[in-house]
Amino acid sequence: MAALHANAMVCAAQPEAVEAGLDILASGGNVVDAAVGAALVQTAVDPQMCGIAGFGSMHIHLPATGGKPAVHTLIDFHGRAPLATREDMWSSLIVRECDDGFGFVLKGEVNEIGYQSATTPLSIKAFDEALRRFGTRSLAQMIQPSLPWCEDGFMVRPHVHQFWMSAAQAGRIERIRVLKDYPATAKIYTKADGSIHGVGERLRNPDMGRTLRRIAEQGVEDFFEGEIAHRIDADMRAHGGLITLEDLKACRTESSQPLWTTYRGHRVATNPPPGGGLMIAIMLNILEHFDLAAMGHNSPQYIATVSEAMKIATVEKDARMGDPRFVSIPMDELLSPQYSARMAARIRSGEKTPVPRMNIGNAESRETTHICVADASGACVSLTHSLGSSNGVVTDGLGFMYNNAMMVFDPRPGRAGSLAPGKARFTALSPTIVFKDDKPFFIVGSPGGTTITMGNLQAILNAVDFGMTALEAVHAPRFCATSSTIELTNRIRHSTQRALESQGYPVMRHAQSYMFPLVHAIRIVDGRLDGGADPAGDGMAASI
């Protein structure tokens, strides 16, 4: 759904969240209020995609107004490995690395499901901070729209049910296990006969509603130091979990300046590590050396060129990117004109960049969610938040599920992504704002594991190089290269696939016409907004 001549717009993967954001804007709230209110609704109606015990990245741009200075900042809330983490604690359990680089399969799935798989929870703290610093409403106020979706329930949407029913792939668990393996979770997500709710059926979670009400009444610190924190600590201790009260008390968000690059006369602002914005910048810098528009959208030459940039950025991510507290990332080198020119020359020469993987398997589950909010003044928020693919654990009576972000750490010691106490995992989360004439032009973000950066990149190329609206940019057929294989959605022409294969590229065609990542975007042209929600999900863009 797209809209023109709008004063403000919300674009998200859940209609309930979009409506909540619009209601907040219509009642006088600003874009930060709307983003947080919508995000809290997402935690209720998409409780395995995101939650108050999750992680993420929030990109905020507010023009100067009413005597207040302009704001352009990022709030990073990547969870950190608990203090009990040890670098080699899972090194003997390795089965293999996932093909797309989205973590490792371990014996016993200890990094994917259960009490040891969670990093420290930061989402609710980040939402509170964003409101206190840049919003006009309190967290207690912004919690209110989510409560009916917990207490009265939400209607199970197709995308929610599809995730629940995802089969085991390449060593990963059947996703239905996150609903059934733990009694406190099964009490919420299964019916009396042990079955799960179907599409259109209503799922209630009053425990989550009570937890949110308590946070509204007692403040967010109750989650990190008060009664809720002590209940989390007791549950973790009783079941061999890693998170302790000490971890919860140490939870901190981080604010940072945007990471900048330029592309075709536009200024591009994205998030710094441990988020994935550096990959966006690297790929754009390389691709600016090519006339992509002249190649033709999704032509064999275009796909090959963009895929090589994707592979180069992926190799750099695997080898040299991570949490800046623990890894010295060669930022100056990776963002230098000399580096991008050298990589572009390599692509022109026909060299194919291999993406090494340990014991290659298939693509994995990629679950997260996203919100874009913008108004005609140029105030905007791009917010990606996640539970990873959720770890199945609910502390009895609290209602919310924990993240499983430990899954993506490298269990092999001595590497950029290796485990360490207090370390954040590197993610592809990359909420990005493209500026034209110093005003926001294209706001974009998406869920989708390691594919996030690749979807955001293609949406930017579609808007800038091919002049597409936001709706066209997110609907256009996509491809992805997070390994040595180029993955195509089924709307890419078979003749294009044959041409790529004739050039020696391994190609995988998916049956889906639309698939991950689920890109969401808003475009602003001359004060007019148009938006697009990825048709692979349940979402929409709508305006007031």
Domain parsing of the chain, residue ranges: 22-255+367-408, 258-363+430-543
Q: What φ, ψ does residue 270 adopt, rounded to 5°?
A: -145, -175
> Do residues 275 and 76 lie in contact, with contact meaning Cβ atoms separated by under 8 Å?
yes
Predicted local confidence at residue 357, as pLDDT: 66
Residue 73 burial (C-beta neighbours within 10 Å; 0-12, 13-18, 19+): middle
Q: What is the DSSP letter of 108?
A: G
Provide CB contacts within 8 A for 193, sequence distance 6+: none
Beta bridge partners of 525: 528
Tokens representing residue 296 in the block: 């033709």
pTM of the shown model: 0.95
Mean pLDDT by 10 residues, the chain (544 residues): 67 97 97 98 96 97 92 97 97 82 84 96 98 98 98 95 73 81 96 94 98 98 98 98 98 97 98 97 98 98 98 95 95 98 98 77 58 96 94 97 94 93 94 97 90 96 98 97 94 98 96 88 96 93 96
Residue indicated by tokens 């019916």 = 191
> Do residues 35 and 29 lie in contact, with contact meaning Cβ atoms separated by under 8 Å?
no
Ramachandran bin of 405, using left for φ above 0, alpha for ψ from -120 to 50, beta for the remaining angles = alpha
C-alpha dist (Å) from residue 464 to 301, 304, 412: 18, 19, 40
| DSSP run (H or E) holding 284 | helix 277-287
Q: Tell me the C-alpha distance between 259 and 269, whole Å.
A: 6
For the chain, how big is the Rg over CA atoms in Å? 22
> Do residues 542 and 18 lie in contact, with contact meaning Cβ atoms separated by under 8 Å?
yes
Classify strands 486-488 and 507-509 as parallel, antiparallel or unpaired: parallel
Per DSSP, the residues of 60-86 read EEE--BTTBPPEEEEEEE--B--TT--
Q: Tell me the C-alpha distance between 37 and 21, whole Å.
A: 6
Instruction: Tell me the three state secondary structure of residue 215.
Output: helix
Q: Tell me the C-alpha distance between 426 and 128, whole Å.
A: 23
Within 13 Å, how many C-alpha atoms sit on residue 84's CB side? 17
What CATH number should be reported for the domain whose range is 258-363+430-543? Answer: 3.60.20.40
Q: Tell me the C-alpha distance between 15 and 38, whole Å.
A: 10
Ramachandran bin of 312, using left for φ above 0, alpha for ψ from -120 to 50, beta for the remaining angles = alpha
Predicted local confidence at residue 169, as pLDDT: 55
Is the bond into 158 cis (omega within 30 degrees of 0)?
no
Tokens representing residue 2 in the block: 């797209």
At position 53, the amino acid (one-letter code) is A
Residue 221 CB: number of other CB atoms within 10 A? 15
Is the bond into 413 cis (omega within 30 degrees of 0)?
no
Residue indicated by tokens 């930017």 = 460
> Do residues 128 and 510 lie in contact, with contact meaning Cβ atoms separated by under 8 Å?
no
Predicted local confidence at residue 356, as pLDDT: 83
Q: Tell me the C-alpha distance between 239 and 426, whole Å.
A: 27
Residue indicated by tokens 């930022």 = 331
Predicted local confidence at residue 99, as pLDDT: 63
